[in-house]
């Protein structure tokens, strides 16, 4: 198994663990401390699953770009961030239309998950870029 495949698997596993743990913590904290009377458990679960699917698709595109054209990685990062933001906004609006109660709670919890995915992905890609630069110098 080459280094790119290991990095992809590490990213996918880490992202899934981060989103599932974040979802569990947010749900448990809200229900345990009774922060709201209408916590959108199902809506947040659907959003978490869709975030996982988006991130898996993004890493697959990234791996393909690394293997074919290393010059296009910076535009990919920027495009990925913009598409992720549009995806998140569409997801928030779509779920807010279907769930009338607990919309503000959903938006806040989803923002925490979204922010977590952005931070995790940024740290991961910076680490990978450092390794790619070290390999290209050798």
pLDDT at 14 over 60: yes
Nearest-CA neighbor of 22 among 90, 118, 96, 92?
Answer: 118
pLDDT tier for residue 54 given thresholds of 50, 70 and 90:
very high
Nearest-CA neighbor of 52 among 20, 79, 4?
Answer: 20
Q: How many domains does the chain have?
A: 1
Domain residues for 38? 3-137
pLDDT reported for residue 70: 64
Nearest-CA neighbor of 40 among 95, 115, 89, 113?
Answer: 95
pLDDT tier for residue 108 given thresholds of 50, 70 and 90:
confident
Residue showing tokens 């495009």: 79
pLDDT reported for residue 96: 84
Find the DSSP H helices in 33-102: 41-68, 73-98
């Amino acid at each position: 198994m080459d280094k790119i495949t290991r990095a992809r698997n590490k990213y996918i596993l880490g992202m899934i663990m981060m989103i599932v743990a974040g979802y569990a913590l947010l749900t448990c904290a809200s229900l345990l401390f009774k922060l709201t009377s209408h916590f959108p458990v199902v809506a947040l679960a659907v959003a978490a699953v869709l975030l996982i699917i988006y991130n898996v698709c993004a890493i697959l595109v990234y791996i393909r770009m690394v293997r074919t054209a290393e010059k296009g990685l910076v535009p990919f990062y920027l495009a990925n961030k913009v598409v992720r933001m549009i995806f998140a906004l569409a997801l928030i609006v779509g779920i807010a239309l279907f769930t009338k109660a607990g919309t503000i709670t959903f938006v806040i919890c989803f923002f925490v998950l979204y922010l977590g995915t952005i931070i995790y992905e940024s740290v991961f890609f910076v680490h990978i870029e450092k390794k790619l630069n070290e390999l290209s110098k050798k």
